[in-house]
Amino acid sequence: MPPIDANPAARSAPARRITRRREPRYAVVAEQLQGLIGSGQLRPGERAPSVRELSRQSRISAATAVAALRVLERRGVLEARPQSGFYVRPRPRRSAPLALTQPPRTASDVSVNSLLGLLDAARNDRRIVPLGSAIPESAWLPERALQRRVVAAARRLPSLLSEYELLRGLPALRHQIARRYAEIGCALAEDELLVTNGCMEALHLCIGAVASAGDTIAVESPAYFGFLQIIESLGLKALEIATDPRDGLSVEALQRALDGRQGHSIKACLLVSSYSNPLGASLPEPRRKALLEVCSEHDIALIEDDIYGELNYAGARPPPIKSLDRSGQVMLVSSFSKTLAPGARIGWVAPGKWLQAVRLRKFTTSASTAPLLQHALADWLAQDGYTRHLRRLRQDCAEHVELFSAAVERHFPPGTRISRPEGGFVLWVELPPGRDSLAMHARALREHISFLPGPLFSATGQYRNCLRLNCARSWTPRVAGAVRRLGQLAG
Amino acid sequence: MPPIDANPAARSAPARRITRRREPRYAVVAEQLQGLIGSGQLRPGERAPSVRELSRQSRISAATAVAALRVLERRGVLEARPQSGFYVRPRPRRSAPLALTQPPRTASDVSVNSLLGLLDAARNDRRIVPLGSAIPESAWLPERALQRRVVAAARRLPSLLSEYELLRGLPALRHQIARRYAEIGCALAEDELLVTNGCMEALHLCIGAVASAGDTIAVESPAYFGFLQIIESLGLKALEIATDPRDGLSVEALQRALDGRQGHSIKACLLVSSYSNPLGASLPEPRRKALLEVCSEHDIALIEDDIYGELNYAGARPPPIKSLDRSGQVMLVSSFSKTLAPGARIGWVAPGKWLQAVRLRKFTTSASTAPLLQHALADWLAQDGYTRHLRRLRQDCAEHVELFSAAVERHFPPGTRISRPEGGFVLWVELPPGRDSLAMHARALREHISFLPGPLFSATGQYRNCLRLNCARSWTPRVAGAVRRLGQLAG
């Protein structure tokens, strides 16, 4: 478990900028205390150290001690008993883990596009508690610092508006992207990279480059609805592959499909390799190797979406499968939308041996990507505030997925199961059989709460009793109330 | 003929901003003098008024009179004879007009993508005289004013970087676009419009929405290479339709193709209706009506690219065919790339009855368009400097197409023919039969001059003896020298 920040709920953007510099003392103490509870040295029902004890032991003021205890109270770790002090709360029941998914074994046409309205319904409506779209709360992003870079770039280079950028994208930005991959042992030449209008364009280019109408794309199940919508719009079929909620796509199931009757029509395997959306699954290294091997053997593209890869909660981030790739079989795509600036719409692709095909498609899809925001991002990345920013963002994500998980386990009906992501910021909730997340979605939206219903994540209408929550929202009373209310609606 | 500015060649960006305010006196006098020559009151070989006569007649200083005469000398209208004064030069031979094009009558697969390298070769290389890509010189664009809007928008709304924009694009920008169409009698609801990543994405969305692999798209011939590349990348066929260099695509030829054996496979007719690229052709109103009728009868999409429509040299701009459309048969696409900010990559589409299909494709192609530059453009457009800017840009285009035309007629080999555009800023040059514009392109590039060879504009490798020049470059000695050199290379 990573160290936990003091007070995510109350944190406003300016306050955040200050606390970012150094961990405040009360947060450090709260962390130590939570460590004692996590390790069992302090058990549920036991009394926590008093304000006086804490301030003496930790050499802090009484006010700081109170702040530390309040943090843990707000997190649901301690409860205050009048006239008596703080006590360790019982850990909420831990629901059973999700099981391996079992999608149908035949490829099918996709028609999730009809559900697209669900996405736009809640967007930009300030009355709504937005637990739908998977983007981090803007206060968690370095908005002001990026803003300064945009202003500086616009001032320095007015010609950015008047000239077309190179098809491949700004060299300085490609350099920064390649540099970051190099740091985790994934060697990519800048010339292997193309800058795109977000990850969506990168995915669209990759899928379009390797498959034609009627072909099949193998996807994890449940899968990010954007995958399915691209597949639908290109007239392709999707084959959902059984997926382990922790370890990701089953390579054996993919192998079986490739060896099967219609295996020849499968042109690519498409997945989020680390902290997948919506399951939060991550392929362990042996599975990554096996997957690459199977794709190479059958000469199908392995389209690896790495968009959540940097949001690991603990340890080192897993290097993308691309780092194991010697023959260009992997098409790696990602973007800054989950970590820096969703509104910049800047993504990238390293298309391996399909580089030329993807390059041509980039020209016919959007000619080139507007250079201004590329400059701003490249400038910001060159300053290397990214590592520090990521450290905090990971912590925020870890903490909030934990807070959301605990609330779901507390307020949702018995029999509910949830995913256990180790990175990213979405939570997959499986309600007891028979519940209908589409009906629930309509009711929730009337009450100004959005989330995404499960069928959006399947080509075949599976997961009707499931839903996805975006946990990258500060845990305010309003958000807590919304999750509680969702639990009632699910009941 | 529109009024002509005094001194386009010597104009630098800051000077330009000043002269924009009021026409300098010498320019007005030069204009009047050129009017006398144009109307035949002063004939080739006759002596122009002397400095003394001119300063007396026009009540200007001798210095201003000299400036006026020098302008016309630089334009090639007058020549100075030592000790004798200025004389009207013989009008250079006026070459024969281009003939109706005669492309093959069968649809074919496209493979212009292999020529794509030609485009990127010259881009962002400052040593090159860039007569290839069709974008206006940056000094002709309101770069500084837009820059200020970008800075203001970034400052006012840092959240633009942190939030996704609505799928359809910024309402304020759609409002401005709809308002401008309304002014020319083309009623479009804001909800019928989608903002796109440039015109290229708009075209890609339209073509993809109406045709599937194997289908055919009818295009003008020669056609903008971007049309052909999209057709190629989507696995479609192109059918080139005979095109009149002045009046555009032949509706009779299209009708014949639709009635022919493979007419059923044609899913759309795709053209630039006003000041086409590369021919500069513009459909007269009866032809627009006939075209819409034919497309409606056969229920094929009429994809109308209006990207040069506002760059008419004289009179009023022709309203797009969309303004005649009552049943949603026309998919109108355009962008700000030719008139305001190529680097913003902001275009739009009004997809008529294919609105829903295009909307879904927009999501799967790039999710949404970055909002920052949308805000900046909407703010700028709301201030209404656009009308004044356009007036000057049109004048610059008219004047420079004239300058380039005269230079080509003077320096290119006998038998060369050129287009006679009445809007836009590209010139189509047909060399005598047997000349090879691809070989010429390779030689020119070695000498740091770029242009686009003819075969790029055909699905079937036609137009090998043709080339396209971008005339939206200030007529400096360097540019003039490049055109002269091209004439030698063609010789």
For residue range B102-139, what is the model confidence (pLDDT) as tens digits? 999 888 888 766 666 666 666 667 889 999 989 999 99
Is the model's pLDDT at B61 over the cut of 80?
A: yes
pLDDT band at B421 (very low <50, low <70, confident <90, very high): very high
**Least CA distance to B122: which residue of chain A?**
A166
pLDDT band at A113 (very low <50, low <70, confident <90, very high): low
List C-alpha distances in Å: A245 to A12, A20, A249.
Answer: 34, 33, 9
Is the model's pLDDT at A388 over the cut of 60?
A: yes
Is the model's pLDDT at A206 over the cut of 60?
A: yes
Q: Which of A104-113, A187-196, A245-254, B138-147 has the lowest mean pLDDT?
A: A104-113
Residue B35 tokens read as 């009017």
Taking the CA of residue B332 and the nearest CA in chain A, the distance in Å comes to 17
Mean pLDDT for the stretch of residues A201-210:
97
For residue range B181-192, what is the model confidence (pLDDT) as tens digits? 999 999 999 999
Residue B34: per-residue pLDDT? 75
Note whether B265 and B235 are within 8 A (CB): no
What's the whole-number average pLDDT of chain A? 89
Do A151 and B151 count as a contact with CB atoms less than 8 A apart? yes
User: What strands, in cross-sheet order, belong to the sheet with A452-453?
Assistant: A417-418, A426-430, A466-470, A452-453
Identify residue B394 by its one-letter amino acid code: R
Q: Which of A69-78, B219-228, B236-245, B349-358 has the lowest mean pLDDT?
A: A69-78
Mean pLDDT for the stretch of residues A429-453:
95
What's the whole-number average pLDDT of chain B? 89
Mean pLDDT for the stretch of residues A130-140:
92
Q: Which of A211-220, A401-410, A418-427, B37-46 has the lowest mean pLDDT?
A: B37-46
For residue range B270-303, what is the model confidence (pLDDT) as tens digits? 999 999 999 999 999 999 999 999 999 999 999 9
What global pTM score does this model have?
A: 0.84
Residue A6: per-residue pLDDT? 36
Residue B197 sits at the chain A interface (C-beta within 8 Å): yes
DSSP state of A47: B
Higher pLDDT, A476 or B384: A476
Do A154 and B163 count as a contact with CB atoms less than 8 A apart? no
Do B212 and A204 count as a contact with CB atoms less than 8 A apart? no
Q: Which of A99-113, A210-224, A462-476, B419-433 has the lowest mean pLDDT?
A: A99-113
For residue range B431-481, what is the model confidence (pLDDT) as tens digits? 999 999 999 999 999 999 999 999 999 999 999 999 999 999 998 889 999
Do A370 and B197 count as a contact with CB atoms less than 8 A apart? yes
Note whether A416 and A383 are within 8 A (CB): no
> Which residues in chain A have their CB less than 8 angstroms from residue B230's CB?
364
Q: Which among B162, B230, B360 has the least Cβ separation from residue A364? A: B230
Is the model's pLDDT at A176 over the cut of 70?
A: yes
Mean pLDDT for the stretch of residues A409-433:
95
> Which residues in chain B have their CB less than 8 angstroms from residue A366's CB?
196-198, 200-201, 204, 345, 365-366
> Which residues in chain B have their CB less than 8 angstroms from residue A123's CB?
164, 166
Q: Which among A147, A151, A158 has the least Cβ separation from residue B144? A: A158
Most confident option among A157-171, B323-337, B400-414 = B323-337
Is the model's pLDDT at A377 over the cut of 80?
A: yes
Is the model's pLDDT at A213 over the cut of 60?
A: yes
Residue B238: per-residue pLDDT? 96
For residue range A38-57, what is the model confidence (pLDDT) as tens digits? 666 788 888 999 999 999 98
**Least CA distance to B346: which residue of chain A?**
A370
Mean pLDDT for the stretch of residues A110-127:
70
Burial of B316 (0-12, 13-18, 19+ CB in 10 A): exposed
For residue range B341-382, what is the model confidence (pLDDT) as tens digits? 999 999 999 999 999 999 989 988 998 899 999 999 999 999
For residue range A6-22, what is the model confidence (pLDDT) as tens digits? 333 333 333 333 333 35
CA–CA dist A28, A57 (Å, integer): 13
Mean pLDDT for the stretch of residues A237-264:
96
Q: What is the CA radius of gyration of chain A?
A: 23
**CA B25 to the chain's CA centroid:** 30
List C-alpha distances in Å: B143 to B137, B242, B264, B358, B391.
Answer: 11, 39, 47, 31, 16
Residue B3: per-residue pLDDT? 33
**CA B324 to the chain's CA centroid:** 23
Residue B71: per-residue pLDDT? 82
CA–CA dist A235, B28 (Å, integer): 61
Is the model's pLDDT at B90 over the cut of 80?
A: no
DSSP state of A312: B
Residue B31: per-residue pLDDT? 75
Q: Which among B135, B147, B371 has the least Cβ separation from residue A343? A: B371
Q: Which of A20-34, A252-266, B457-471 has the lowest mean pLDDT?
A: A20-34
First and final C-alpha spacing in chain A: 31
Do B226 and A161 count as a contact with CB atoms less than 8 A apart? no
Mean pLDDT for the stretch of residues B146-154:
94
Residues in chain A: 491
> Which residues in chain B have their CB less than 8 angstroms from residue A361's CB?
233
Do B163 and A373 count as a contact with CB atoms less than 8 A apart? no
Mean pLDDT for the stretch of residues B253-262:
95
Residue B146 sits at the chain A interface (C-beta within 8 Å): yes
- Surface of A (208-227) touching B: CB under 8 A: 208, 212-213, 226
Residue A12: per-residue pLDDT? 38
Residue A5: per-residue pLDDT? 34
> Which residues in chain B have their CB less than 8 angstroms from residue A365's CB?
200-201, 204, 233, 365-366
Residue A334's closest CA among A129, A184, A160?
A: A184
Residue A163: per-residue pLDDT? 79
Q: Which among A116, A162, A200 has the least Cβ separation from residue B143? A: A162
> With pLDDT > 70 as the criterion, what percentage of chain B qualifies?
91
> Which residues in chain B have their CB less than 8 angstroms from residue A114's CB?
none
Note whether A307 and A272 are within 8 A (CB): yes
For residue range B311-334, what is the model confidence (pLDDT) as tens digits? 999 889 999 999 999 999 999 999
A309 three-class SS: coil
Q: Which of A118, A156, A161 has the highest number of chain B CBs within 10 A, making it the mutation to test binding with B?
A: A161
Residue B2: per-residue pLDDT? 32
Residue B299's closest CA among B343, B269, B338, B275?
A: B269
Is the model's pLDDT at B39 over the cut of 90?
A: no
Half-sphere exposure of B276 (CA within 13 A, CB side): 30
Residue B123: per-residue pLDDT? 62
Encode B394-412: b = buried (16+ Cβ within 10 Å), e = exposed.
bbbbbbbbbbbbbbbbebb
Most confident option among A320-329, B12-21, B119-128 = A320-329
